[in-house]
């Protein structure tokens, strides 16, 4: 059974008890992203103060991977400079392209913390988009928030 | 975890199956492979695309190894034989649905066949030939679809309306997964240009009554297009009995190759439609100033066609006819009855679609309480069971029934009770894995 390699305990924990869930005010940008192949959805808001992500709030529906991913992302990016948060997103993208290669996950452990548990997802091409959806939404929302507030990432 | 054998609880009734599943499975090379670390492949995704028997693969190979040439071009022996094989397949496929070969147009698939009709109706408005303007859609006209359509039978009509200024209207659904025909008399009216309806829903499994829709359309002079993508592979369909103007279906969902589909059209209607794709093969006389076009079906077949695939589809039709479409239909009905009973035995499982087998085919969609369909599908996949998860390219349907997505099992000629037992056991395994029971 290969399932445990994808559904790590950390992922199931985030899925059952999501961190930071709910839409909150104030916010600088709100985006709605969908995964058109399967109907996963997330609405995500970003509040930026100076160069820092002050809050990320979200509502969504979808599979365990998509919902756990946004929860793990919340832990990683809130309170971080926007550039650093987006850099973490790039690391997560690298992890998703690893095709299950454990050495990639090992190298990214420090940067990705809990999110490194998604390494197993990279073996299942159909599920990678589920894991990436929230990070794409964050990238989009941050760009909109910065252009609204006149900042640059 | 291993697949458990059939459990003694089986309250579900196993009617004798009309088809010899073991003999049929031996014809499908892919069914002997294993998946996910040596598990038997339990293929319950024929509604997305069917697997191919050796007879179909052999027909394609025979074509390429023996007669390959571009049909309707050239005077050499291969060209003659390729043309013969292509046209023989057309006649055979036409006979399969009760149509003469002059009414069978080859397209890439159902989607392209529907687009062909939709573009013909908008191209008609600007056609220089007066007879091609007969069915032009424009401002003040209405196109009617149903809320049950998959995207292929919805988006082309939305786009036709956007191109022409026509208005899109639709028939709704009842809570038990049927078409709501209570307002048929008002939704289909004197302004209606065309009604497009699926004969069998790809999600709900519902088999729709086509006769009352055709009857109403005739009263108001509207065309009727029947989407047969999920019906032609699974039940006998006769276009004469159907009474519609168009029937569309895909080869790859009926044991045939990918890349070939069919538009059947009533000849007198096809004859008044302008072309969709243009180029070689479909022309009569070409001058730099302008050209004239062949009669149907050639008018709608621009370019060198998918000849080997058409020959393969001909072999698929032979295969299905040898089994007997009546038996194919009965076979799936027995499997569907069994599946509905097996799923009803599992707490937390809800079938989206009709709960019995009355006017219902073998597409069984369901939700499992507190487990997203993707996660259900992942556990099933781990056990070697291939199902479809998501919105099944019919987003309005899943939205109508208040679920974000479903898991769908679809059956075909090689499906047996053991496949459905595996599905039921797999759903229980998913519930155990995610701790919902």
At B21-41, the pLDDT tens digits run 999 999 999 999 999 999 999
Q: Is any Cβ of chain A less than 8 angstroms from the Cβ of B378?
A: yes
Q: Scan residues 11-70 of B and list those with Cβ closer than 8 Å to A.
A: 36-37
User: Does residue B371 sit in the same domain as residue B250?
Assistant: no
> Which residues are bridge partners to A30 per DSSP?
A45
Q: Scan residues 415-434 of B and list those with Cβ closer than 8 Å to A.
A: 433-434
Q: Scan residues 123-182 of B and list those with Cβ closer than 8 Å to A.
A: none
pLDDT band at B5 (very low <50, low <70, confident <90, very high): very low
Active site amino acids of B: 393
For β-strands B42-43 and B385-386, DSSP reports them as parallel
> Is there a domain that residue B4 lies in?
no
Total-model pTM: 0.93
> Is there a domain that residue B127 lies in?
yes
For β-strands B192-198 and B223-227, DSSP reports them as parallel
Using alpha carbons, select from B401, B1, B55, B61 the residue that is nearest to residue B205. B401
Q: What is the mean pLDDT of residues B376-384?
A: 97
User: Does residue B287 sit in the same domain as residue B316?
Assistant: yes
Q: Order of strands across the sheet with B167-171?
A: B104-107, B261-265, B246-250, B223-227, B192-198, B142-146, B167-171
> In whole angstroms, what is the distance from residue B142 CA to residue B124 CA?
15
Q: Is any Cβ of chain A less than 8 angstroms from the Cβ of B374?
A: yes
User: Does residue B65 sit in the same domain as residue B47?
Assistant: no
Q: What is the mean pLDDT of residues B89-99?
A: 98
**Does A38 score more than 80 pLDDT?**
no
Q: From the centroid of its chain, how far is CA B120?
A: 21
> Is there a domain that residue B279 lies in?
yes
pLDDT confidence of residue B397:
87
pLDDT confidence of residue A152:
56
User: Does residue B143 sit in the same domain as residue B96?
Assistant: yes
User: Does residue B61 sit in the same domain as residue B48?
Assistant: no
User: Does residue B352 sit in the same domain as residue B409?
Assistant: yes
User: Does residue B119 sit in the same domain as residue B261?
Assistant: yes
User: Does residue B309 sit in the same domain as residue B354?
Assistant: no
pLDDT averaged over every residue in chain B: 95
Percent of chain B with pLDDT over 90: 92
pLDDT confidence of residue B392:
73
Q: Which DSSP string do the residues of B246-281 spell out, in sequence order?
A: EEEEEGGGTTS-TT-EEEEE-HHHHTTPPPSS-STT
Q: How far is CA B297 from CA B100, B112, B254, in A?
A: 11, 15, 22
Size of interface A-B (CB pairs under 8 A): 48
User: Does residue B204 sit in the same domain as residue B339?
Assistant: no
Tell me which of A19-33, B4-18, B196-210, B377-391 is least confident. B4-18
Contact B254, B316 (CB under 8 A): yes
**Does B54 score more than 50 pLDDT?**
yes
Q: Of B321, B353, B371, which one is at a domain's C-terminal end?
A: B321
Residue of B36, B404, B434 lying closest to A61 (CB–CB): B404
Domain range for B408: 21-52+324-433
Q: Cβ of A64 and B382 within 8 Å? A: no
Q: Which residues on chain A are in Cβ contact (under 8 Å) with B395?
A: 39
CATH number assigned to the domain comprising residue B79: 3.40.640.10
Residue of B nearest to A63 (CA): B372
Q: Cβ of B378 and A61 within 8 Å? A: no
Give B356 to chain A, closest Cα distance, Å: 27
What DSSP character marks residue B356?
S
ipTM of this predicted structure:
0.89
pLDDT confidence of residue A1:
55
**Does A153 score more than 60 pLDDT?**
no
User: Does residue B331 sit in the same domain as residue B317?
Assistant: no
Q: What is the mean pLDDT of residues A113-122?
A: 92
B165 φ/ψ angles, rounded to the nearest 5 degrees: 85, 5
> In whole angstroms, what is the distance from residue B173 CA to residue A27 CA?
39
Our count of domains for chain B comes to 2
Contacts made by residues B245-250, CB under 8 angstroms, sequence distance 24+: B245/B269, B246/B113, B246/B117, B247/B97, B248/B107, B248/B110, B248/B113, B248/B114, B248/B117, B249/B110, B249/B113, B250/B109, B250/B110
A interface test, pick of B368, B375, B384, B388 with most A CB neighbours within 10 Å = B375
Cα pseudo-dihedral B338, B340, B343, B349, rounded to 10: 180
pLDDT confidence of residue B3:
44
Q: Of B305, B321, B337, which one is at a domain's C-terminal end?
A: B321
Q: Of B290, B321, B352, which one is at a domain's C-terminal end?
A: B321
pLDDT confidence of residue B184:
98
pLDDT confidence of residue B2:
41
Q: Cβ of B391 and A2 within 8 Å? A: no
Q: Which fold has domain A3-149?
A: Sufe protein. Chain: A (3.90.1010)
User: Does residue B286 sit in the same domain as residue B243?
Assistant: yes
Q: Cβ of A2 and B375 within 8 Å? A: no
Residue of B nearest to A34 (CA): B404
- Segment B315-345, tens digit of pLDDT: 999 999 999 999 999 999 999 999 999 999 9
**Does A100 score more than 90 pLDDT?**
no
């Amino acid at each position: 059974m290969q399932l445990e390699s994808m559904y790590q305990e950390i992922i199931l924990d985030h899925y059952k008890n999501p961190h930071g869930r709910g839409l909150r005010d104030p916010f600088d940008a709100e985006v709605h992203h969908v995964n058109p192949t399967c109907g996963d959805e997330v609405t995500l808001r970003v509040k930026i103060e100076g160069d820092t992500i002050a809050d990320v709030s979200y509502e969504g529906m979808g599979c365990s991977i998509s919902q756990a991913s946004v929860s793990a992302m919340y832990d990683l990016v809130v309170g971080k400079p926007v550039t650093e948060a987006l850099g973490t997103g790039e690391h997560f993208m690298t992890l998703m392209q690893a095709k299950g290669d454990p050495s990639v996950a090992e190298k990214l452990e420090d940067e990705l913390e809990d999110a490194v548990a998604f390494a197993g997802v990279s073996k299942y091409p159909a599920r990678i988009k589920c894991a990436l959806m929230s990070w794409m939404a964050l990238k989009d929302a941050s760009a909109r928030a910065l252009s609204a507030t006149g900042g640059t990432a | 975890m291993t697949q458990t054998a059939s459990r003694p609880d089986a309250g579900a009734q196993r009617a004798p199956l009309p088809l010899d599943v073991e003999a049929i499975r031996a014809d499908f090379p892919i069914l002997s492979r294993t998946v996910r670390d040596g598990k038997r492949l339990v293929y319950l995704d024929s509604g997305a695309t069917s697997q191919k028997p050796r007879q179909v693969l052999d027909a394609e190979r025979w074509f390429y190894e023996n007669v390959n040439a571009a049909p309707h071009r050239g005077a050499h022996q291969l060209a003659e034989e390729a043309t013969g094989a292509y046209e023989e397949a057309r006649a055979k496929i036409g006979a399969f649905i009760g149509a003469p070969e002059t009414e069978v147009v080859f397209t890439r698939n159902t989607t392209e066949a529907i687009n062909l009709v939709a573009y013909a109706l908008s191209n008609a408005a600007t056609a220089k030939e007066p007879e091609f303007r007969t069915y032009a859609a424009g401002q003040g006209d209405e196109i009617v679809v149903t809320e049950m359509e998959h995207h292929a039978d919805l988006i082309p009509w939305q786009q036709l309306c956007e191109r022409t200024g026509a208005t899109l209207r639709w028939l709704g659904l009842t809570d038990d997964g049927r078409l709501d025909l209570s307002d048929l008399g008002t939704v289909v009216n004197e302004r209606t240009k065309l009604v497009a309806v699926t004969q069998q829903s790809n999600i709900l499994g519902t088999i729709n009554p086509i006769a009352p829709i055709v009857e109403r359309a005739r009263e108001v002079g509207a065309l009727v297009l029947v989407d047969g993508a999920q019906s032609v592979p699974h039940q006998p369909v006769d276009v004469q009995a159907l009474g519609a103007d168009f029937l569309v279906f895909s080869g790859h969902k009926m044991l045939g190759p990918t890349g070939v589909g069919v538009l059947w059209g009533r000849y007198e209607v096809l004859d008044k439609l302008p072309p969709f794709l243009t180029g070689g093969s479909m022309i009569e006389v070409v001058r730099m100033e302008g050209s004239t076009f062949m009669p149907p079906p050639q008018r709608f077949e621009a370019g060198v066609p998918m000849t080997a695939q058409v020959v393969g589809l001909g072999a698929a039709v032979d295969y299905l006819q040898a089994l007997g479409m009546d038996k194919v239909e009965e076979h799936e009905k027995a499997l569907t009855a069994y599946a509905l009973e097996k799923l009803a035995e599992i707490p937390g499982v809800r079938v989206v679609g009709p709960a019995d087998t009355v006017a219902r085919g073998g597409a069984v969609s369901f939700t499992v309480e507190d487990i997203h369909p993707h996660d259900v599908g992942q556990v099933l996949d781990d056990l070697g069971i291939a199902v479809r998860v998501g919105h099944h390219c019919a987003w309005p349907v899943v939205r109508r029934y208040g679920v974000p997505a479903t898991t769908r099992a679809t059956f075909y000629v090689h499906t047996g009770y053991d496949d459905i037992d595996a599905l039921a056991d797999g759903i229980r395994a998913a519930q155990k894995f995610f701790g919902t029971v």
